[in-house]
Structure formats: structure tokens, C-alpha cells
Chain A
Amino acid sequence: MSRLEVLKTYKIFIGGKFPRTESGRYYKAVNSKGVPVANICLSSRKDVRNAVQIARKAQGPWQERSAFNRGQILYRIAEILEGRSSQFVEELMLQDYSKINATKEVEAAIDRIVYYAGWCDKFNQVSSSVNPVSSSHFNFSTNEPVGLVGLLLPESSSLLTLVSYLMPIIAGGNSCVLIASERFPLTAITFAEVLNTSDVPGGVVNILTGAVAELWSPLSTHMDVNALSVDLKSPYLKDIQLAAVENLKRVMCMHSADEQGLVNITDFQELKTTWHPIENIGGASNSY
């Protein structure tokens, strides 16, 4: 007698837990031949609000961790993904990838995570400055995370796109509420399992699945979201930009997933300039 396969239930990821959508709704993800591959949570605006609330609380402690520690955690994500790479290859193949392309995709994603892991404790050294002001002050500018970033992944999203856009956000100390691709949601949820076993504190990354048409609005109008990362080709781009005006969210249009670089991190950083007087009394000179 053949063994009955145990099917996986795909749930959403909020605050380090895997709840079902509070709405109780689902949709069927299908492959290119229209064959259903899984039931996926159809998240609601309430799920977005829950996720934002939790991401807000998680952001401060994440920012306050040492940059070195964030680097270690990101590297840990790469380690765990490497160990589970065959699962991701299979899942990508369910979504019509060839085995070769799926393998390449997973390997590239792992390497991309390692790349941003290395940036965590370096980007601020490269992008900050000590400013030679004319008055007797010590003056320097450093980056600080913009805060909570809403990430709307493009519909073509695969594993590589997800990590390419997510990693620079969290490397810089931001928390994130991520709306997965409606067409390719499987790897996003399985990736949440990787995050959850990689010492990423609960709430730093929250992953929702569902209809982008329904979810872009609660995310881009939420007053506790500081910035949005949106696909340049998103049909909702203009609406999102308009919605973002209310609290002046920074809306960043995505660079290609093929690119990696410092700018992907600094796009989600503020710059803070600090001044302090230099006491100049007594008349001692700095000459030898």
C-alpha cells in the first residue's frame, strides 16, 4: 500500500509565529498549467495592521542590536537556507522552474544574503562622514534606519527577488512587513521558516500572502509605516505614492534584483548630523 503524503499548510508569518489569516479566507496558488499547488492565506487589512503593530515594536530593539550581531544573524539565514536548499529547489520547480534554474536561483539567493550580512557593520562607515565645519565644533553625520519598511514584492517574485529586496532593509536595522507575490507565494512562506530558525527576532520580518490589490492600500496608508519599497512597474505605484503623502513615507522604487549594492541599504536610511562644541581655552596649541 502506498503511503499517503503529508501536505504542507502555508500560513502567514507575523511576530515570529505562523497564524492563519484572521479573515479565514484562502486562495489557490496555481502553476503555469493552472494546476493548484497549495492553498494560500488571503490576508486582510486587519492582518496588515497586526503585522505593522508588531513590526513597530520589533524595530527599536533590532536597531539597537550591534551591527556586528545583525551581520551574524544575516549570515545565519544564509547557513540555514544552504542546509534547506533542496527543499527550495523542489518548491521552485513546483512553480515551473527547471531544476538547473531553480538550483541557480537558490545558490544566488544564498550568496546575496551573505553579501548583505557582510555590509551590516560596514555600510555606515562608508556612508557617514565627519564634517569639517568652520566653527569650533565637532560635527558628524551617521545613518540611522528609517524605521518600519513596507515591502511589496513584484509579481514575478521568486526567492532571489525576495532576498534581494528584504536583506538590505533588515541589514540596516529596519523592520519589515512584506507582501509576497500573489502568483508565487510558496517560497516566501517557506523562507519565513528559514528566518524563524535563524535567530531573527520575531517581528523584524513579517510576511503576508494575498491579493496585492487589496493589501497595498492598508500598508501604504498606515501612519506607523515609515517607508515603502515598491516595484517600479507596479500598477499601484501612483496610488501608493499618493497614499504615502499623508505622513511623508519615503517611497523607494526597486532597483533590479540583479543588482546588489550599498544604495539598496542607504535608500532605507536617514542621515543624522550631530554637533558639539570643542572647548578652546587655555591657549595650548596642537603643534609639537
Chain B
Amino acid sequence: MSTENKNWEYADAVEGTGHIKLKEKYGLYINGEWVAPRSKTYFSSTNPHDEAHLAEVAQANKQDVDAAVIAAERAYHDVWSKITPAERGKYIFRIARLMQEQAKELAVIESLDSGKPIREARDIDIPLACNHLFYYAGWADKLDYAFPNQKKEPLGVAGQIIPWNFPLLMAAWKIAPALATGNTVVLKPAETTSLTALKLAEIIDEAGLPPGVVNIVTGFGDTGAAIVAHPKVSKVAFTGSTAVGKLIQKTIAGTDKKATLELGGKSANIIFDDAPLDQAVEGIINGIFFNQGHVCCAGSRLFVQENIADKVIRKLKHRMQSLQIGNPLDKNTDIGAINSSEQLKTINKYIDIGRKEGSECFQVDCALPNKGYYCKPTLFINVAQSSVLAQEEIFGPVLTIQTFRTIDEVIQKANNSPYGLAAGVWTDKGSKIFNLTSKLKAGVVWANTYNKFDPASPFGGYKESGFGREGGLHGLGAYLK
């Protein structure tokens, strides 16, 4: 069969938006009520596919954050710390179920607001978010089994700040363990992707969760900074860039606040000559182009054993050529829109650097939509270890390729990074897998697979990729004294 599929035409298969319910204007969800922001300011949430306006979102200022934290603190003392763990769990189960019922709507809104392909929002983001709540709900009354012979007390008010790459999923990652362990929450979604968090507030409201247990405040970096600095916040959970993570650490130095930080990465994906190559190529594609490369654990540094490099690169280019790039709501779409014009600029800046540095650049030969923020999937071949491209997180569909000869060499190169979030290893030999997985300095190692997530599986980094784990039994520890 011919492998030239350049001329295949896909019929449009655009997901309908008629069934989704979005308000024109969203206030802040504080103490179980929708309130207008004291700042009296709103900002627009737009669709990165066509820059269309989706809804007005409130911009919380310091006073708004203060009101939310006070509500959370009162709810902690008056209600949430008093009800039985089993009842606490039942509330979380109920939220999970309501989310499952509205999964389709949430998926469409997520795709509209973030630019991610509907296929990913529908099959990955939303189900994983629901499952995360369902998973942690069951822990609420079993904490004694998780940490025997240790104190198990909640911390109080958790201030949680989440990124724009997996909006609802990150909200679930943050809220679920906090509630299960008996903390109350003030959550701030990212400014470009507030809508599914606001839909979650509606679901939480519908679930009858006591007022103030979860508060959702929208806004920009200053809103997040106000949460971090608030004296009544006893726990900060942040997912985002390493630079902001360090700012948070500086802000809370000398206080009793606890923190978990899920920060950046520059993860190595390592292919040996005995790997199942076609599967490995799928793994490389999924590793770097999943969610347009807006993934903290993206396999953005590819290491290929030298003797198979030509073959792997040839297969990779061929596979990239069949990726469907375009309208995120189209069910055929593999690569959607870059989340914001700002992020597109950042990615293009790195692509320019790469071209100037003189490594070989390959981009998919395809037409991009006229409007919106789009970037062609990009490879840089023969990148030097010292290159900015191989050192800094790009957070876009840009893969650097380096080669290696020996195992020791690739371990050294892979670990030669300030980051340590994830890694991938592709080989058919079990003992080689365990040699590598035990020597790679990374919090998550995928062997013969990549970018897999599960509520039962702890996630988090070594070194400057942050500290603390989210998911699984270990994710509970971050919310207990």
C-alpha cells in the first residue's frame, strides 16, 4: 500500500457547540455565591482558533482574594473540619458524577477556550479530571491506611494556582486531594483558560458543597500573587513555570506555609536501536506534539542511538506529514491552536534561535488556518547539548534531536539539565530498561510508552522541576501536616 498520504482529504467533522451553555459574564465564585468583582474589572476569554470572544471573566484583585480566603477559612473551621471523613468523600464522589454527566459540554468548552483538539479534551482531559475526583473521594475516610503511625491533620486553606495547558484536569488535580484530606480551597485558573473552572464552580454549587469550601477566583498573575501572599493561606499548590515557582518560594520563605510546585521540564525521550521503531515513532510524536507540546513533561529532547538515527528521523518526518493541523473542534484534528498569541511568540522566538544556530530544521509542509494562533510541528536535527533549544523549555511543538552511541553517554546527556520531570526509554530489553529507569533523574519514567497519566499514579519532578507529588497515595501527603 502506498504510504504517500499527502493527498488524503478528510471531510470536516466539526463538533457542534449548540449544546453548550456559557454565560456572557462570569463573576467570582466566593462562599457559594457568584459575586461581582470588587475590582469592577472583567476581561475577555477568547478562542485561540479564531480569536472570537467567548465570555467576560472577572478580574479578582487583592480584596476579592481576601474575601475568598476568609470564606475558605470560615468554611474550614465551621463546616469542613467538622463533618465526618466519609461525608467529605461523598461530596467529592457527587462532584465527580456530575462532571461525568456534563463531560461532553466540558470537553467542547475546554477545546474552545484552550485550543486543544476536541479528541484530546474528550478522551483525555475530561475523563481524567472526573476520574481524579472519583479516585480521591474514596481516600477521604481511609487516610489512616495511607500513612500509618503518622499524624494526619489537614493544613487549612489551600491556595491553588493552575496553568492553561490542562485547565479542568489541573483544577481536579488540585481540588480533589485538598478536599479529601479536609482542607478548603481558593483556586485560580489561568487567565486564558478560566471557563471550565467556572463551569466546575457551577457543578460544585449544584452538588451542594457547603459554601466556602471551594472558592474560584479568576484573574492574572497579580491575583495569584495575592493568594500566595495571603497570611491565612497555609498551603500553596502551584503548577506552572519554574520562574514563577521560584518567585512563590521566595514569597513564602520564612513563613509556615507549605508548598508543592509542579514546574517546567525538558524531558528526554531515548530510543535504542533494539526498540520497536514504529511504536517508538508514535511515542515520540505523542511525546512532543500532544496538546501542541504545551505539556510540562513533553518529551522535547529526543536521543536516538546513532546507528538508527537516519531511519528514525525519516520515519518521524513521514509520520509528522500525516498529522492533521487545524480547527481544534474538528474530530480529525491532531494538532490544535497554540493557547495564546503570547505563547506563539515565545515558540517562534525559539524556532528563530534554532535556525540561526544552524541546526537542520524540518517543519511539516501544510497550510495553517488564516486566523488564530498556529505553529507547524517542528524538528531540529543535530542540536548541540549546549544549545538553548536543548536546555530551555519551549512549551510548544518543537523537538530537538541528538544522537548517542553508548548507554552511559545518553544517561549523562539526559541528566544534564536543571530539570527532572519525566523521561522516556524505548528498548526491547528489560534489564536495559531498569538500568535506565533507575539512573534517570526524573519523577516519572515511561518505558516503551509516553505521556500516560492516571489518578492512581503519582506525578511530579526532581530538581528544578519542582517538589511534591500529585496523584496516587503520595499525592495526599502534600495536604497533611
1/0 per residue, CB under 8 A from B, across A90-129: the answer is 0000000000000000000000000000000000000001
Q: Is the CB of B443 within 8 A of A272?
A: yes
Q: By CB atoms of chain B within 10 A, which of A132, A226, A272 has the most? A: A272
Complex: A134 Cα to B454 Cα, angstroms: 7
Q: Which residues of B contact A277 (CB under 8 A)?
A: 448-449
Nearest B residue to A240 by beta-carbon distance? B253
Complex: A277 Cα to B283 Cα, angstroms: 12
Chain A CB within 8 A of B210 CB: no
Q: Which residues of B contact A28 (CB under 8 A)?
A: none
Q: Is the CB of B246 within 8 A of A261?
A: no
Q: Which residues of A contact B473 (CB under 8 A)?
A: 129
Q: Is the CB of A248 within 8 A of B444?
A: no
Q: Is the CB of A241 within 8 A of B149?
A: no
Shortest distance from the beta carbon of B252 to any chain A beta carbon, whole Å: 8
Chain B CB within 8 A of A198 CB: no
Contact of A274 among B250, B418, B447, B462 (CB under 8 A): B447
Q: Is the CB of A271 within 8 A of B460?
A: yes
Chain A CB within 8 A of B464 CB: yes
Shortest distance from the beta carbon of A251 to any chain B beta carbon, whole Å: 9
Chain B CB within 8 A of A68 CB: no
Nearest B residue to A223 by beta-carbon distance? B418
Complex: A244 Cα to B253 Cα, angstroms: 10
Q: By CB atoms of chain B within 10 A, which of A133, A246, A262 has the most? A: A133
Q: Which of A5-13, A15-23, A135-143, A209-217 contacts B (4 or more CB under 8 A)?
A: A135-143
Q: Is the CB of B457 within 8 A of A133?
A: yes
Number of B residues, CB within 8 Å of A: 40
Chain B CB within 8 A of A257 CB: no
Q: By CB atoms of chain B within 10 A, which of A134, A144, A237, A271 has the most? A: A271
Shortest distance from the beta carbon of B301 to any chain A beta carbon, whole Å: 19
| Number of A-B residue pairs with CB-CB distance less than 8 Å in the complex they form | 101
Q: Which residues of A contact B464 (CB under 8 A)?
A: 247-248
Chain A CB within 8 A of B361 CB: no
Q: Which residues of B contact A272 (CB under 8 A)?
A: 437, 442-445
Residues facing A in B435-481 (CB within 8 A) are 437-438, 442-449, 452, 454, 456-460, 462-464, 466-467, 469, 472-474
Q: Is the CB of B246 within 8 A of A141?
A: no
Contacts known (A275-B447, A276-B448, A277-B449); A241 close to B454, Cβ less than 8 A = no
Contacts known (A241-B253, A242-B250, A262-B149); A131 close to B472, Cβ less than 8 A = yes
Q: Is the CB of B454 within 8 A of A250?
A: no
Q: Is the CB of B458 within 8 A of A273?
A: yes
Q: Is the CB of A275 within 8 A of B131?
A: no
1/0 per residue, CB under 8 A from B, across A255-272: the answer is 000000111000000111
Query: Which residues in B have some Cβ–Cβ distance to A below 8 Å?
Result: 131, 149-150, 242, 245-246, 249-250, 253-254, 261, 263, 418, 433, 437-438, 442-449, 452, 454, 456-460, 462-464, 466-467, 469, 472-474
Interchain Cβ contacts under 8 Å between A and B, 18 examples: A131-B456, A131-B472, A133-B452, A133-B454, A137-B452, A141-B472, A237-B254, A242-B250, A247-B464, A248-B245, A248-B263, A262-B149, A273-B444, A275-B444, A275-B445, A275-B446, A275-B449, A275-B452
